[in-house]
Amino acid sequence: MNNTMKVIATLCVAATLTMTGCKKEKVEPVTPETPEVETPENIYEGTSWIAHMENTYYYQGMLQMDVTYDLSLDFLDSVSGELFHDIVIDVPDYPAASQNQNMTEAFTYTFSNDSVILKCQYYDDELGDTAYYSYELVYDTVAKTLTLDFDDPDMEEIMGTSVVVFTQVPVESAKTIIPGAKSAKGKTSWGNIVGKIARALKN
């Protein structure tokens, strides 16, 4: 073997060794870990909450109306519950015009660490269709209260606010049944209640 052949053979061996040394190792794909989603504890299931409000309202700035508003919020199980409303408007100068309205709203609910969403529905007789609406309550982890803003201008005018604060009570002491309460056909209409009083005054 002459020198040229030796050089070629040496280069081939070197090239083979280089290629073998540079061979890439098979890399297994890394599956990213799915972070665990912490499920908040359902502190509402089986609990009852109440709110009580009072205010004196002057219809058209003159006629005194003494208003009381009681609410009871019951979380019957892990997904559903009932919200009771009891509104009493006394008209001291015209007792016959006084009004009382109570009703029950059934709901399903979802929750997070600091809020609860109540989802309600009712059958609209006029439209012949089922309508949906919801309430959002904010949970105060320090005060242990639930706050609901109805965002209702009529309620704010009559009650001085549309914000209701619920406090938890023992289930056995909750006002879970309002005698004669009607199932809800939409949200409570404060304007309609005052309208009934106005019509009663004209009769």
Cβ partners under 8 Å of residue 117, min gap 6: 109, 110, 111, 134, 135, 136, 137
Q: List, for residues 163-176, the tens digit of each pLDDT value.
A: 999 999 987 655 55
Q: 190: pLDDT confidence band, cut at 50, 70 and 90?
A: confident
Query: Rounded to two decimals, what is the model's pTM?
Result: 0.75
Q: Which two tokens stand for residue 42?
A: 């359902």
Q: Break the chain into its structural domains and give their ranges.
A: 48-202
Q: List, for residues 134-163, the tens digit of each pLDDT value.
A: 999 999 999 999 999 999 999 999 999 999
Cβ partners under 8 Å of residue 174, min gap 6: 48, 49, 50, 72, 74
Residue 69 has pLDDT above 90, yes or no: yes
Contact between 197 and 190 (Cβ < 8 Å): no
Q: Which two tokens stand for residue 192?
A: 């309609």
